[in-house]
Amino acid sequence: MLKVIKNRMEQGCKTSKYPKEPIQLYKRFRGMPRINASCSQSVIQQCADICPQDCIDTKNKTIDLGRCTFCGQCEVQSKGEFVLFSENFELGAASREHLITGGSLPALAEHSKQHFKKLFGRSLQLRQVSAAGCNSCEADTNVLNTPFFDLSRFGIDFVASPRHADGIHVTGPISRNMTQALLDTYEAVPSPKVVIASGCCSISGGPFYGSDEVVGDLNKLIPVDLYIPGCPPHPLTTLHALLQFFK
Amino acid sequence: MDNLLKIKNGAVVDRNAIPNVSNSVFFSSLAEFVKNDGYIVQFFGYIENGINRLIAVVRNRDLYVIETEVGSSFQSLTGSTSEKFHLFEREIAEQFGIIPEGHPWLKMVRYHKNYTGAPDAFGNDYAKEHIPGNYHYFQVEGESIHEVGVGPVHAGIIEPGHFRFQCAGEEVLHLEIQLGYQHRGIEKMMPSVPQKRWPIICESIAGDTSVGHNLCFSQAVEALASLKVDDKSSIVRSIALELERIANHIGDLGALSGDVAFNPPAAYFGRIRGEFLNLLQVLGGNRFGKGLVRPGGVTHVMEEEQIKIVRAKLHELIPEIEHVCDLLFSATTVLARFENTGIVAHEMAKDLGLVGYAGRACGISYDARVAFPTEYYAHLPANENNTTDGDVNSRASVRREEIMHSMQIILQLLEMYEQIGATTGAVFMKEHSLKANSFVVTINEGWRGELSHCVLTDNNGKVQRYKIKDPSFHNWTGLAMSLRNQGISDFPLCNKSYNLSYCGFDL
Ligand code: SF4
Ligand code: SF4
């Protein structure tokens, strides 16, 4: 018992004050890209050529955050001339097109569906479905339950049964072998329900795009309401997206 | 042994130098080797010029390779020689339709159509849907026997897989584990996608082992493209691998604590695990170390600032972790649940070829950092495990010991890094021309155990075959054996004590 108390005192309270107070992530973190539209076409072309996800559009000078893994290769290649990754982790989007960005995203809160805010603003229960996620997405979703993020204080919880859920949160490129189980889980959630695609895998197939063993895009199966880009999304990215979209 | 070619971890071998022996010599050599305390690192098939071929990489104190040509079937060694072969043989059957004759329980590994269009080894038609789990599980019969099926979608935020328990009352008589739900076709993708996609794919083979798998991949490319990695980059890689190990072990100790309803360590370790992920982010911008390791070095070298952050964090966390570990491992209620739960005996562990902490908890001391050191490991002291009873408590204790050891060696690595004068440049992924007609195998001690990648190139230096093995491939059977005659309510605890990878297995 004494040890429990001693450890309790040593640990103290570690819960973050976000969103009331901003959090500064360490500078090496790659968040929202800043794009220099006046960059020379040849440099943009070089970036597009080395981009492993083929997500740079040279004509419109945009990056598709639904495909990007935030590997940082384009930043290095262009020596920051075309892209610079900021520490801004607020990346959620309400439509697939918004993710194709020239350097900014529309305010998520304004694009969320108002009836969702009314229905789920005070209490949101989600069923997480990993459909061939590599376990980074899953782990950094799970981490929202640890004391630092403490998701429950916002009335948001991950639940075991789809019957108790208001929606599903999907990670992974949706392997052929998980498609049926994913659809069954979706079916089991009572309507009205929310669908969240988390990580570039569920948005576009991520690193596995083109494989004939994956579906690669959740929208092909069920309509997605909220997109959370990243590989994996930072827990704060997920937290921000959930709060903006539902609160 | 005379028929096997001795090779080195991460060194290129001319494919013509690999002994290509007759079937009988191949299988008798393998059988003899494995019976004499030998273990399988890789055993896989590939097809070249229409000929089916099998390659095996095996280890005792050294590494060896051997190869043979087969027709549409070969002689199984699973029943006659050792359980160590069972999954490898099933994998060969599934990937190429080459049948291991006499395999005692030939069934699907990952449920996918094979690579060649040969008739499916199990008679499955993957053009039809719903094949995963569509299989007659092993059944125990009797009046009081009942069956419990769990998954593929589980209760928590975890990856999918199916567990089928045969129980008499509370007691589990048999657990059958069927995976494959996470199959993304990675081995098939690798030879066909442009090189720039390789590291992105490899660091997502298993996201909790991003650094480990990308090390195996990068070392293989380095060998085939004759790239040198400087000492400083090597140290950054070693530090990243250890941070990955610590983060995962701490997370698991917290989860184990939660599973026995002792909440304080669960909460503390849950938070502390994040501190280590954040350190990986300090090194390379991603909490899982993605984007850090690339052929030729690392994308971010450490400057004074990062060294300071890592060192200060470790000094802050070492006492905290010691205290929380003490809290966890001295609570009688915890020990009552940990001790004597989910035992795998030493002999059984050897028969199955368990690796990593699952093996070390059973007294198999093998640690690839010591046996086949890569990067900076040859300069570092080895860890020693003291609790080797094969139960949950041992698997937890090994983790505890490894956490403390890893933190110490990171501190040592930081010092070594500072002492090396030369500065080093960051690298990023480029196209490399690979040595033609070559073979390389790379091995690293990931946090779960022995990771290995194997690459074969053809006459033009194109990748002919890319083979990946996650330690989970060896260890899932260990979990099944842990559950024998165990209460079914102990399953979550046993499962967490292994915490194996679904996607690392499913590829
Ligand atoms: S950071 Fe994104 S856009 Fe840039 S190279 Fe990587 S995947 Fe492509
Ligand atoms: S998006 Fe990235 S982190 Fe998430 S499951 Fe896919 S590969 Fe893993």
Residue A1 pLDDT exceeds 80: no
Of A29, A39, A49, A55, the one to substitute when testing ligand 1's pocket (max ligand atoms within 8 A of C-beta) is: A55
* CATH assignment, A109-246: 3.40.50.12280
For residue B371, give the amino acid letter. Answer: A
CA of A141 to the centre of ligand 2 (A): 12
CA of B123 to the centre of ligand 2 (A): 33
Residue B129 pLDDT exceeds 70: no
Write the CA distances from B6 to B13, B55, B59, B68, B167, integer angstroms: 10, 14, 9, 16, 46
Residue that has been written with the tokens 């070392």 in this structure: B219
Confidence of residue A113 (pLDDT cuts 50, 70, 90): confident
- Give the pair of three-digit tokens for residue A92: 């959620």
| A33 reaches B (C-beta below 8 A) | no
Summarize the confidence of residues A83-102 as an average pLDDT. Answer: 90
Q: Are residues B329 and B447 in the same domain?
A: yes
Inter-chain CB proximity B204 and A134 less than 8 Å: yes
**Rg of the Cα trace of chain A?**
19
Provide the pLDDT for residue B1: 66
Q: Are residues B298 and B437 in the same domain?
A: yes
Q: Is residue B156 part of a domain?
A: no
Tens digit of pLDDT for each residue in A120-137? Answer: 878 899 999 999 999 999
Q: How far apart are CA B423 and CA B232, in angstroms?
A: 8
Q: Is the dihedral of CA B221, B224, B225, B229 positive or negative?
A: positive
Inter-chain CB proximity A4 and B264 less than 8 Å: yes
Closest CB to B184: pick one of A7, A14, A132.
Answer: A132
Q: How far apart are CA B14 and CA B19, in angstroms?
A: 11
Inter-chain CB proximity A134 and B206 less than 8 Å: yes
The CB of A202 under 6 Å from ligand 2? The reply is no
Report chain B's terminal Cα–Cα distance, integer Å: 32
- State which H helix or E strand residue A129 sits in: strand A124-130
Write the CA distances from B223 to B60, B436, B440, integer angstroms: 23, 12, 7
For residue B212, give the amino acid letter. Answer: G
Q: How far apart are CA B446 and CA B374, in angstroms?
A: 12
Cβ atoms within 10 Å, residue B363: 17
Q: Is residue B341 part of a domain?
A: yes
Write the CA distances from B273 to B28, B270, B370, B468, B498, integer angstroms: 47, 5, 26, 27, 17
Provide the pLDDT for residue A240: 92
DSSP letter assigned to residue A99: G
Look up the domain containing B312 and give its range. 195-469
Provide the pLDDT for residue A138: 92
Summarize the confidence of residues B107-131 as an average pLDDT. Answer: 84
CA of B194 to the centre of ligand 1 (A): 15
Q: How far apart are CA A176 and CA A208, in angstroms?
A: 12
Tens digit of pLDDT for each residue in A149-204? Answer: 888 888 899 988 888 999 999 999 999 999 999 999 999 999 899 999 999 999 99
Question: Looking at chain B, which residue has its C-alpha nearest residue A50?
Answer: B196
What is the bridge-based pairing of β-strands B486-487 and B171-178?
antiparallel
Confidence of residue A96 (pLDDT cuts 50, 70, 90): very high
Q: Is residue B482 part of a domain?
A: no
Provide the CA B22 distance to its chain's centre, in angstroms.
30
Tens digit of pLDDT for each residue in B170-224? Answer: 999 999 999 999 999 999 999 999 999 999 999 999 999 999 999 999 999 999 9
**Torsional class of A193: left (φ above 0), alpha (ψ -120 to 50), beta (otherwise):** beta
Q: How far apart are CA B65 and CA A157, in angstroms?
A: 51
User: What global pTM score does this model have?
Assistant: 0.94
For residue B157, give the amino acid letter. Answer: I
Q: Establish whether the linkage from the previous residue to B152 is cis, with ω within 30° of 0.
A: yes
Provide the pLDDT for residue B149: 86
Residue B134 pLDDT exceeds 80: no
Task: Please check whether residue B421 is in contact with residue B473, taking contact to mean a CB–CB distance below 8 angstroms.
Answer: no
Return the domain boundaries, chain A. 109-246
Residue B289 pLDDT exceeds 90: yes
Task: Please check whether residue A242 is in contact with residue A156, taking contact to mean a CB–CB distance below 8 angstroms.
Answer: yes
Q: Which of B177, B260, B174, B259 is nearest to B485 (CA)?
A: B174
B 422-441 residues inside an 8 A Cβ radius of A: 426, 428-429
Q: How far apart are CA B366 and CA B356, in angstroms?
A: 7
CA of A33 to the centre of ligand 2 (A): 19
Report how many domains make up chain B.
2
Task: Please check whether residue B449 is in contact with residue B475, taking contact to mean a CB–CB distance below 8 angstroms.
Answer: yes
Nearest chain A CA: its distance from B113 CA (Å)? 9
B313 vs B422 pLDDT, higher one: B313
Tens digit of pLDDT for each residue in B397-448? Answer: 999 999 999 999 999 999 999 998 776 788 888 899 999 999 999 999 999 9
Closest CB to B111: pick one of A6, A148, A177.
Answer: A177
Q: Is residue B301 part of a domain?
A: yes
Confidence of residue A246 (pLDDT cuts 50, 70, 90): confident
Q: Is residue B506 part of a domain?
A: no
Q: Is residue B185 part of a domain?
A: no
Q: Is residue B502 part of a domain?
A: no
Summarize the confidence of residues B356-367 as an average pLDDT. Answer: 94
**Torsional class of A147: left (φ above 0), alpha (ψ -120 to 50), beta (otherwise):** alpha
Q: Is the dihedral of CA A63, A68, A72, A78 positive or negative?
A: negative
Q: Are residues B128 and B204 in the same domain?
A: no
Closest CB to B157: pick one of A142, A185, A231.
Answer: A142
Task: Please check whether residue A133 is in contact with residue A176, taking contact to mean a CB–CB distance below 8 angstroms.
Answer: no
- Provide the percentage of residues in chain B whose pLDDT is more than 90: 74
Mutating which of A71, A76, A200 best tests the B interface, going by the most B Cβ atoms within 10 A? A71
Q: Are residues B213 and B127 in the same domain?
A: no
- Return phi, psi of residue A96, to 5°: -60, -40
Q: Which of A193, A204, A192 is nearest to A228 (CA)?
A: A204
Out of B436, B452, B469, a domain closes at: B469
Summarize the confidence of residues A3-17 as an average pLDDT. Answer: 81
- Give the pair of three-digit tokens for residue B445: 């001690």
Of A55, A99, A137, the one to substitute when testing ligand 2's pocket (max ligand atoms within 8 A of C-beta) is: A137
Write the CA distances from B212 to B29, B169, B204, B231, B414, integer angstroms: 31, 41, 11, 18, 19
Inter-chain CB proximity B183 and A206 less than 8 Å: no
Q: Are residues B121 and B261 in the same domain?
A: no
Residue that has been written with the tokens 């209760």 in this structure: B155
Q: Which of B469, B485, B490 is nearest to B55 (CA)?
A: B469
Q: Which of A224, A222, A215, A239 is nearest to A131 (CA)?
A: A215
- Give the pair of three-digit tokens for residue B304: 């004074």
Q: Please give the ipTM for the structure prediction.
A: 0.93
Mutating which of A2, A136, A182, A215 best tests the B interface, going by the most B Cβ atoms within 10 A? A136
Task: Please check whether residue B403 is in contact with residue B246, taking contact to mean a CB–CB distance below 8 angstroms.
Answer: yes
Inter-chain CB proximity B320 and A231 less than 8 Å: no
Query: How does DSSP assign B281-301, residue by residue?
Result: HHHHSSTT-TTTEETTEESS-
Q: Which residue's CA is minimally distant from atom 2 of ligand 1?
A: A68
Q: How far apart are CA B456 and CA B464, in angstroms?
A: 5
Task: Please check whether residue A29 is in contact with residue A234, taking contact to mean a CB–CB distance below 8 angstroms.
Answer: yes
- B358 Cβ neighbours under 8 A, 6+ residues apart: B344, B349, B395, B448, B449, B471, B475, B478, B498
Q: What is the mean pLDDT of chain A?
A: 89
Confidence of residue B62 (pLDDT cuts 50, 70, 90): very high
Inter-chain CB proximity B153 and A160 less than 8 Å: no
Provide the pLDDT for residue B297: 93
Tens digit of pLDDT for each residue in A19-77? Answer: 888 888 888 989 999 988 888 899 899 999 999 999 999 899 999 999 999 999 999 88
Q: Is residue B336 part of a domain?
A: yes
The distance between the two most distant Cα atoms of chain A, rounded to a whole number of Å, is 67
Task: Please check whether residue A126 is in contact with residue A157, taking contact to mean a CB–CB distance below 8 angstroms.
Answer: yes
**Torsional class of B455: left (φ above 0), alpha (ψ -120 to 50), beta (otherwise):** beta
Confidence of residue B311 (pLDDT cuts 50, 70, 90): very high
| B160 reaches A (C-beta below 8 A) | yes
**Ligand 1 atom nearest to CA at A65:** 2
Most confident residue range from A73-82, B79-88, B235-244, B375-384: B235-244
Question: Looking at chain A, which residue has its C-alpha nearest residue B112?
Answer: A213
B 115-144 residues inside an 8 A Cβ radius of A: 129-132
Tens digit of pLDDT for each residue in A18-29? Answer: 888 888 888 898
Provide the pLDDT for residue A68: 95
Provide the pLDDT for residue B364: 94
- Give the pair of three-digit tokens for residue B220: 């293989």
